Amino acid sequence: MIPIALTVAGSDSGGGAGIQADLKTFSALGVYGASVLTALTAQNTRTVAMVEPASSAMIAAQMAAVFDDLAVRAVKLGMLGGPETIATVADGLRGRRVPVVLDPVMVAKSGDRLLPAEALEALRRELLPRASLLTPNLPEAADLLGMQPAGGEAAMIEQGQALRALGAAAVLMKGGHAGGATCVDLLITAEGVSRLVAPRLATHNTHGTGCTLSAAIAAGLAQGLALEPAVRQAHGYLQGALAAADDLGVGSGAGHGPVHHFHAVWRGG
């Protein structure tokens, strides 16, 4: 039986992030993807023109429909919008014995804010304690903690431990916003800290990187991998998607195109 993963996130009409990126990632990694749509966005590689949240009743109905019929083995949470949506998703997960990867989507690559500041407390209270893994970038981690973004690995570890203290079982501190020739991500668990290091790739086509990484981790968990192997598999997959991103040539958004989710499947670009 094929493993099934569920993404609970917003739609990206440009196809590079959100539900679309998650389903592409699941498919590329051999996992069947189900979805719960939390919002519609009108966006492309240049901007987010409009966001329209789904109703709490529709979100709840989607979650019930999926869980009532499909043997979901992992859940990825992405763009959740506001406090009502967060509470609805938390209710839908209550009692479900399934790993949850929480990507705290706050700001789009275009700079448009996707999570209102007033929703931060709801995210901390309702979903951090439910997260098997939290995957913030450095600004997101800082927002969640009310601190300045970490300026080095020691600060990344300190902030990751602080986020674990808020309830997340494990935290992947993503170093993509830091400088330097290499990008260092830190997986912080009860057992310790693991480093994931990769060269910083010379591409600006990075739209959907956070969605893609968290979805790839959820795919690995759905396949039965333990957390660290799932994170390492996802990390390698994302590096391939970034390395091939310039081959796509999608959109005109000054280099904010999508990563190449099917880099290992499509041939000839």
Structural domains in the chain plus CATH codes: 4-135+204-247 (3.40.1190.20)
State yes or no: is 211 an active-site residue.
Answer: yes
121 — phi, psi (to 5°)? -65, -40
Read off the pLDDT of residues 133-171 as tens digits, 9 standing for 90 and up.
999 999 999 989 999 999 899 999 999 999 999 999 999
Q: Which one from 78, 206, 251, 253 is the annotated catalytic residue? A: 206
Q: What is the pLDDT of residue 47?
A: 84
Q: What is the pLDDT of residue 112?
A: 57
Q: Which one from 15, 211, 220, 257 is the annotated catalytic residue? A: 211
Please give the structure tokens belonging to residue 137.
């970038």
State yes or no: is 236 an active-site residue.
Answer: no
Q: What is the pLDDT of residue 145?
A: 93
Residues of the chain with pLDDT under 70: 107-114, 177-180, 253-255, 267-269
State yes or no: is 210 an active-site residue.
Answer: yes
Q: What is the pLDDT of residue 269?
A: 46
State yes or no: is 82 an active-site residue.
Answer: no
State yes or no: is 92 an active-site residue.
Answer: no
18-28 vs 209-222: helix axis angle to the nearest 10? 40
Q: What is the pLDDT of residue 253?
A: 62
Q: Which one from 81, 209, 251, 257 is the annotated catalytic residue? A: 209
Q: What is the pLDDT of residue 172?
A: 98
Q: What is the pLDDT of residue 255?
A: 59
State yes or no: is 174 an active-site residue.
Answer: yes
Q: Which one from 16, 18, 208, 257 is the annotated catalytic residue? A: 208
Contact 155, 147 (CB under 8 A): no
Burial of 60 (0-12, 13-18, 19+ CB in 10 A): middle
Q: Which one from 16, 210, 251, 257 is the annotated catalytic residue? A: 210
Q: Which one from 7, 25, 174, 183 is the annotated catalytic residue? A: 174
